[in-house]
Amino acid sequence: MANYSTVFNQLLALIPRYHFERFVNSFNGDRYVKTLKFWNQLG
């Protein structure tokens, strides 16, 4: 089975994870999340 990189995945590769985590933390995005964090949803 072949793996293909989607356009969305290619766009996420341009965003440094540190900046994404800082942005999520500034808005308390993962405040009530227990298992599936924002970064895991996008990846």
What helix, strand, coil percent values describe the chain, rounded to 5?
A: 50, 0, 50
Tens digits of per-residue pLDDT, 1-43? 677 778 877 888 888 888 888 988 898 888 887 787 777 776 6
Hey, what are 40's tokens? 């895991």
Range of the domain at 9: 1-42
Distance CA 23, CA 3 (A): 29
Two structure tokens written together for 41? 């949803």
- pTM of the complete model: 0.57
Q: CA–CA separation, 2 vs 6, rounded Å? A: 13
Domain count, the chain: 1
Judge whether 29 and 38 are in contact, CB under 8 Å: yes
- The model's pLDDT over 16-26, given as tens digits with 9 standing for 90+, comes to 888 888 988 89
